[in-house]
A and B are shown apart, each in its own frame.
Chain A
Amino acid sequence: MYAIKVENLVKKFGNFRAVNGISFKVKKGEIFAFLGPNGAGKTTTVHILTTLLKPTEGKAEVAGLDVVREAKEVRKKIGIVFQDPSIDRDLTAYENMLIHGGVYGLSGAKLREKIEGLLKFVELWDFKDKLVKHFSGGMQRRLEIARSLLHEPEVLFLDEPTLGLDPQTRDHVWSYIETMREEHDMTIFLTTHYMEEAEKLADKIAIIDHGKIIAEGSCEKLKRMVGNDVIYIKVENCAECFKGEFIRSCKVLQDGRIRIAVENTAEALPKIFELAKENGVKIIEATYHQPTLNDVFLHLTGREIRDEGGEFFRKAIARARMRR
Chain B
Amino acid sequence: MRAFAVMVYRQLKRFSRARSRVAGMIINPLIWMIFFGVGWSGVFKDAKIFGGIDYLTYLAPGIFAMTVFNQSFISGVSVIWDREFGFLKEVLVAPASRKETIAGRIIGDSVVATVQGLVILLLTLLLTELRVAGILPALGVGLLLAVAFSSFGVSLATKIQSMEGFQMIMAVLMLPIIFLSGAIYPVSTMPWWMRLLAYINPLTYAVDGARNMLTGVEGIFPLSTDLAVLGFLALAFLGIAMFAFERSTIE
A residues apposed to B, CB below 8 Å: 13, 47, 50-54, 72-73, 75-76, 78, 80, 82, 84-88, 90-91, 95, 98-100, 102-105, 107, 131, 319, 322-323
Interface size class of B (residues with CB under 8 A): 20 to 34
Task: Let me know if A105 and B2 touch, CB within 8 A.
Answer: yes
Task: Let me know if A52 and B93 touch, CB within 8 A.
Answer: yes
Task: Let me know if B163 and A322 touch, CB within 8 A.
Answer: yes
* Least CB distance, A94 to chain B, in whole angstroms: 11
* Bound CA–CA A302/B207 (angstroms): 68
* Bound CA–CA A52/B86 (angstroms): 12
Q: Which residues of A contact B92 (CB under 8 A)?
A: 51-52
Instruction: Identify which of B12-20, B183-191, B193-201, B228-236 touches chain A.
Output: B12-20
Q: Which residues of B contact A98 (CB under 8 A)?
A: 6
Task: Let me know if B89 and A52 touch, CB within 8 A.
Answer: yes
* Least CB distance, A32 to chain B, in whole angstroms: 19
Q: Which residues of B contact A322 (CB under 8 A)?
A: 84, 163
Task: Let me know if B10 and A91 touch, CB within 8 A.
Answer: yes
Give the nearest-CB partner of B91 in chain A.
A103
Task: Let me know if B250 and A103 touch, CB within 8 A.
Answer: no
B residues apposed to A, CB below 8 Å: 2-3, 5-7, 9-10, 13-14, 17-18, 81, 84-87, 89-96, 101, 163, 249-251
* Bound CA–CA A102/B90 (angstroms): 12
Task: Let me know if B250 and A52 touch, CB within 8 A.
Answer: yes
Task: Let me know if B10 and A88 touch, CB within 8 A.
Answer: yes
Partner of B96 from A51, A82, A105 at Cβ < 8 Å: A105
Partner of A103 from B17, B85, B89, B94 at Cβ < 8 Å: B94
Q: Which residues of B contact A51 (CB under 8 A)?
A: 92-93
Asked if A53 meets B96 with Cβ closer than 8 Å, knowing A86-B89, A88-B14, A95-B13, the reply is no
Asked if A100 meets B85 with Cβ closer than 8 Å, knowing A53-B251, A72-B95, the reply is no
**Can you list 29 contacts pairing A with B, beta carbon distance less than 8 Å?**
A13-B251, A51-B92, A52-B92, A52-B249, A75-B94, A75-B95, A78-B93, A84-B85, A84-B86, A85-B85, A85-B86, A86-B87, A86-B89, A87-B87, A90-B13, A90-B17, A91-B10, A91-B13, A95-B10, A95-B13, A99-B6, A99-B9, A102-B2, A103-B101, A104-B96, A105-B3, A131-B17, A322-B84, A322-B163
* Bound CA–CA A256/B84 (angstroms): 61
Give the nearest-CB partner of B21 in chain A.
A90
* Bound CA–CA A90/B3 (angstroms): 19
* Bound CA–CA A44/B6 (angstroms): 29
Of B5, B9, B86, the most chain A CB neighbours within 10 A belong to B86
Q: Which residues of B contact A72 (CB under 8 A)?
A: 95
Q: Which residues of B contact A100 (CB under 8 A)?
A: 90
* Bound CA–CA A95/B15 (angstroms): 14
Partner of B95 from A90, A104, A131 at Cβ < 8 Å: A104
* Least CB distance, A106 to chain B, in whole angstroms: 8
Partner of B85 from A50, A78, A102, A323 at Cβ < 8 Å: A323
Q: Which residues of B contact A73 (CB under 8 A)?
A: 95
Partner of B3 from A52, A103, A319 at Cβ < 8 Å: A103
Q: Which residues of B contact A319 (CB under 8 A)?
A: 84-85
* Bound CA–CA A102/B94 (angstroms): 10
Give the nearest-CB partner of A104 in chain B.
B94
Q: Which residues of B contact A75 (CB under 8 A)?
A: 93-95
Of B9, B18, B93, B94, the most chain A CB neighbours within 10 A belong to B93
Task: Let me know if B87 and A91 touch, CB within 8 A.
Answer: no
* Bound CA–CA A53/B18 (angstroms): 33
* Bound CA–CA A27/B7 (angstroms): 36
Give the nearest-CB partner of A95 in chain B.
B13
Question: 18 new A-B pairs (CB below 8 Å) besides A13-B251, A75-B95, A105-B95?
Answer: A52-B92, A52-B249, A75-B94, A82-B86, A86-B86, A86-B90, A87-B87, A88-B10, A88-B87, A90-B14, A90-B17, A95-B10, A99-B10, A102-B3, A102-B5, A103-B91, A105-B3, A105-B96
Q: Which residues of A contact B91 (CB under 8 A)?
A: 103
Asked if A91 meets B89 with Cβ closer than 8 Å, knowing A52-B250, A102-B2, the reply is no
Task: Let me know if A91 and B163 touch, CB within 8 A.
Answer: no
* Bound CA–CA A82/B89 (angstroms): 8
Task: Let me know if A91 and B94 touch, CB within 8 A.
Answer: no
Q: Which residues of B contact A105 (CB under 8 A)?
A: 2-3, 95-96
Give the nearest-CB partner of B250 in chain A.
A52
* Least CB distance, A140 to chain B, in whole angstroms: 11
Give the nearest-CB partner of A11 in chain B.
B251
* Bound CA–CA A114/B6 (angstroms): 17
* Bound CA–CA A103/B250 (angstroms): 19
Task: Let me know if B86 and A103 touch, CB within 8 A.
Answer: no
* Least CB distance, B68 to chain A, in whole angstroms: 21
* Least CB distance, B147 to chain A, in whole angstroms: 21
Give the nearest-CB partner of B10 in chain A.
A99
* Least CB distance, A168 to chain B, in whole angstroms: 25
* Bound CA–CA A72/B17 (angstroms): 33
